Structures are given as structure tokens and as C-alpha cells.
Amino acid sequence: MSSSKVILVTGSNSGIGYELVHLLAAKGHTVYLAARNETAGIDAVAKIKKEKNLDVKFVQLDVTEIDSIEAAVAKIQKDEGRLNVLVNNAGISEFSTPQSAAKPNIASIRAAFEPNFYGMIQTTTAFLPVLRASSTPDAPSVILEVSTEMASNTFMAGPDSFLHHAIPYNSSKAAANSYVIALARELRDEGIKVNTVTPGFTTTKLNGYLPGGKTPEQGAQALVEWCLLGKEGKTGQFANDSGVWP
């Protein structure tokens, strides 16, 4: 197999996902930029070509719609014959809705869980047969969940935590981390690397462009090495750009 990998990044027409796509493409990999909205995805591919002079591919993918997921699996399987890396980046925050643990907005919580948890799981399991078939001992397949510091219950219960009120987002991401741990353990003997990584506080559309964070490209940089793990790469980790996160 060529050292060039076939990589899919969900929800990547903007923000950290968009920056990750071009960073990986710049390293010579075949990268699929995925978006729910076909026009937005095609525009993003054109923008990368114009601004970075890099060729990336587009696939329409709505992680909440099983038909869309299955069509994306079929397209990548047909066009590439393999998938080496799946980056689960698609998600929503629901930060703009009322936040309360004592008086929860159940509709908002359900809305966040749909892409952040259920959508991530059904996307991962749909692509798993292709990832398994593409994995070798020396070039293992990789599954990466893009997480947040706020998914750590240890951190959020500590004295340095922030945004306690982000109930839908924090809860859905903590649940996603729990799934990633279980999947990593199940796939460990197959050599497939499964991790969850927080890029750190990054100013993007997800948080309403809250000032003071990393740029989207800086956030994406924290993910690159975890996308390209080799035989000795770690698995079952929750990490940030400084090491292991609790």
C-alpha cells in the first residue's frame, strides 16, 4: 500500500474540519471533505484549490441520515477501494439555546445528541468494514473523534472548569468519549487506532466566534498527528496538544 492515506473528515466545509482537510492534503494524502450541504461542500473544495492550490475531494454526508452515510461509504469504496482514516468532526453546540441542568431544554439536548453521538456512531460503524479491510499491521486504520475539554467529567468537576451551563454539548461529547473508549478496546487486537482529541478552545462558528481562542488552523494542527498514527501509535486515549486529558 502507498504511504498516502485516504482520509475522510466529516463536517469539514468550515472551521477546524476545513483547516484539517487542507493540512492533511498538503502532506500528500487523498482527503475527502464532507458536508451536509452539497453547495457548501463544493464551494469549500474550490476555496482550498484557489487559496492553497491543493486538490481535495468532496462527498455529501449528513451523519444523521443513514441513506447519506451509506451513499458516502459506497462512493469512497468505489472511487478509492479503501479508507484509512475516519475523522468524526461533524457536530453542533446548541450554545444559543437556554442552558440549565435543573430545568433542561430536552429538545436542545436531543438536537445535540443526534449528530454528536448517534450520528458519530452510525457513521463510524458504517465505515468500519472499509477501515478494517484497509488496515495492515504496519499501516493501521485510524478513527479519530474531535472532542472538547468540556467532555471531561474530571475537568468539569474541578476548580478550573468553565462553561458549566453547556448541557447539550458537554453531555453529548462526554457520551461520545465513552463510546470511543469502548470501540478502542474492541478494536485493539486488530491494531486499529481509536482516539478522541480536543483541539482546545478555538474561535469558530460552533461557539459563535467567541474571542480569545486558537485560530481554526491552530486547532486543526493539534489533530494532524493523531490522524496519521502508525503501528506504534496510541489507542484509547483522550488527548490534547500537551498530552493526555483527564
Q: Strand 85-88 vs strand 57-60: parallel, antiparallel, or unpaired?
A: unpaired
Neighbours of 27 (CB within 10 A): 14
Rg of the chain on CA atoms, in Å: 17
At 213 the pLDDT is 66
CATH 3.40.50.720, domain 6-244, yes or no: yes
At 163 the pLDDT is 60
Q: Which of 238, 86, 121, 110 is nearest to 171 (CA)?
A: 110
Question: Distance of CA 174 to CAs 1, 14, 15, 27, 236, Å?
Answer: 36, 23, 21, 31, 14
The rounded Cα 99 to chain-centroid distance in angstroms is 24
Q: Which of 156, 153, 235 is nearest to 197 (CA)?
A: 235
Report the alpha-carbon distance of residue 125 to residue 78 in Å, rounded. Answer: 18
Asked if 140 and 230 touch (Cβ cutoff 8 Å), the reply is yes
Q: Which of 58, 60, 71 is nearest to 31 (CA)?
A: 58
Which residue's C-alpha cell is 451536509?
A: 36
All three cell numbers of 45: 473544495
At 164 the pLDDT is 63
What are the structural domain ranges in the chain? 6-244
Give the global pTM.
0.93
Question: Distance of CA 108 to CAs 80, 97, 222, Å?
Answer: 38, 7, 29
At 184 the pLDDT is 98
Task: Identify the segments of the chain with pLDDT beneath 50.
Answer: 1
At 6 the pLDDT is 98
Query: Helix-strand-coil percent breakdown of the chain, rounded to 5?
Result: 45, 15, 40
